[in-house]
Structure 1
Amino acid sequence: MVRDELQAASDELREAAELVDEETQKRLHEQSEQLAALATRDEDPDHGRLDRHMNVLHELAGQLDGDAEELVRSARESVKEYRKTVPGV
């Protein structure tokens, strides 16, 4: 099962990584890889893990501008939308 919102977030982060400096690229790729793994693993990710990703994406978006910023903000929104479907707190 693929969690579409998480896969979409991963894809957007990869796209954003093409628009930024090398250091930020590494951070975006790391987040992208982690979200892609969460999108396809057997167990659902928990709220805490998703919240940590959302915090990192918020921080990254604050350091960017233009298209890269918009892509990271959109990726964060995708994670947020998926998180609404996770049972629990």
Structure 2
Amino acid sequence: MGHEQLERASDTLHSAADLATGDAAERLTTQADQFEELAETGADHGRLARHENALREIKSSASDEVVEKIDEAMSAITAYRETIEGV
């Protein structure tokens, strides 16, 4: 059920990658691809936390447009996290 949020995060991160340049664009594409895989398999809190840390790092030097997209993706990730047990 919650996997739709991971798909949405992937799509949003692909959009962010299209807006970004250089290393940030590559890193966002990698993150988007990983969320696409996670949408099929699911993820635990630890794995999601590692992705969120990577996204926060990318955000720290991104343009406002890219930050907005990353925030949107992180909202989807948070929504997914609320559907899984644990921490």
TM-score (normalised: structure 1): 0.89
- Say which is worse superposed, 30-39 or 72-81, in terms of deviation: 72-81
> Deviations for 1:36-68, whole angstroms, at most 9, x for unmatched residues?
100012xx3111001111111111122112211
Aligned length: 87
Q: For residues 59 and 10 of structure 1, what CA distance do their matches in structure 2 show? A: 17
Query: CA RMSD of the aligned region, Å?
Result: 1.4
Q: For residues 47 and 2 of structure 1, what CA distance do their matches in structure 2 show? A: 13
Which structure 2 residue ranges, 5 or more long, are not aligned? none
Q: For residues 70 and 32 of structure 1, what CA distance do their matches in structure 2 show? A: 15
Residue number in structure 2 paired with 1:88 = 86
Residue number in structure 2 paired with 1:3 = 3
Which structure 1 residue ranges, 5 or more long, are not aligned? none
Residue identity in the other structure for 1:11: D
Question: What fraction of aligned residue pairs are identical, expressed as a percent?
Answer: 37
Q: For residues 76 and 63 of structure 1, what CA distance do their matches in structure 2 show? A: 16
Indicate how the Cα distance of structure 1 residues 46 and 2 shifts in structure 2: closer, same or farther if over 3 A, else same.
closer
Residue number in structure 1 paired with 2:22 = 22
Q: For residues 10 and 67 of structure 2, what CA distance do their matches in structure 1 show? A: 14
Richer in helix (by share) = 2
Given candidates 67, 70, 86, the residue that maps to 2:68 is 70
- Aligned to 1:18, what secondary structure does the other structure show? helix
Residue identity in the other structure for 2:55: L
